């Protein structure tokens, strides 16, 4: 079974993470959760409530990391997904995560990003000239690193598939899984 990385940390958004996690299993892939260290992580729920101008946050489910960033051997994986929430703001500086991120872009393997997930490939200098969706408040993070913000529920730019928030899961996860299936068929062919 082909393995796919899901990148998380504390305060990773619950729906951003679990929807693609279970969709990968449905499609016959093995999701592998990677984080700063191999332990349990607290996920959160994010929503801009009526009358609020900023995101409100609640604790969500927790998730166990299967591997630490330092243990990632990128060649063992067929693709990668950058989940949202507050985690990317903190984990993006990890040198092992940066190296793994660059690998998937350099090898043109299927990459998915949602919401704040953009902060990891942006910091890794992988978004230059690339069209991406992200939550509008991360538009600056994308553009300052040379990316092109597109305010749509699914943006496909070659191997890169992105959505704005968990509200877009039904739009961008399917096309990303299609790229993973094409890569799997290429490897088996």
Q: Which of the residues are catalytic?
A: 116
Pairing of strands 77-82, 67-68: unpaired
Angle at 178 between CA 164 and CA 65, to 5 degrees: 65
CB 133 within 8 Å of CB 140: no
**Structure token digits, residue 131:** 């069209």
33 strand-pairing partners: 6
The Cα-based distances of 16 to 37, 114, 136, 169 in angstroms read 20, 7, 16, 7
């Amino acid at each position: 079974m082909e393995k796919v990385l899901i990148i998380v940390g504390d305060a990773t958004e619950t729906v951003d993470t679990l929807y693609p996690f279970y969709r990968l299993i449905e499609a016959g892939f093995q999701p592998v959760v990677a984080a700063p260290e191999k332990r349990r992580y607290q996920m959160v729920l994010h929503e801009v409530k009526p009358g609020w101008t900023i995101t409100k946050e609640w604790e969500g489910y927790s998730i166990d990391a299967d591997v630490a960033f330092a243990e990632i051997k990128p060649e063992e994986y067929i693709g990668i997904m950058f989940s949202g929430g507050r985690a990317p703001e903190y984990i993006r500086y990890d040198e092992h995560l940066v190296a793994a991120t660059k690998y998937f872009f350099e090898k043109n393997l299927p990459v998915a990003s949602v919401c704040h997930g953009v902060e990891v490939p942006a910091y890794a200098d992988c978004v230059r000239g690339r069209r991406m969706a992200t939550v509008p408040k991360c538009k600056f993070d994308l553009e300052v690193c040379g990316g092109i913000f597109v305010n749509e529920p699914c943006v496909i730019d070659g191997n890169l598939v992105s959505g704005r928030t968990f509200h877009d899961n039904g739009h961008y996860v399917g096309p990303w899984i299609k790229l993973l299936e094409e890569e799997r068929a290429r490897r088996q062919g």
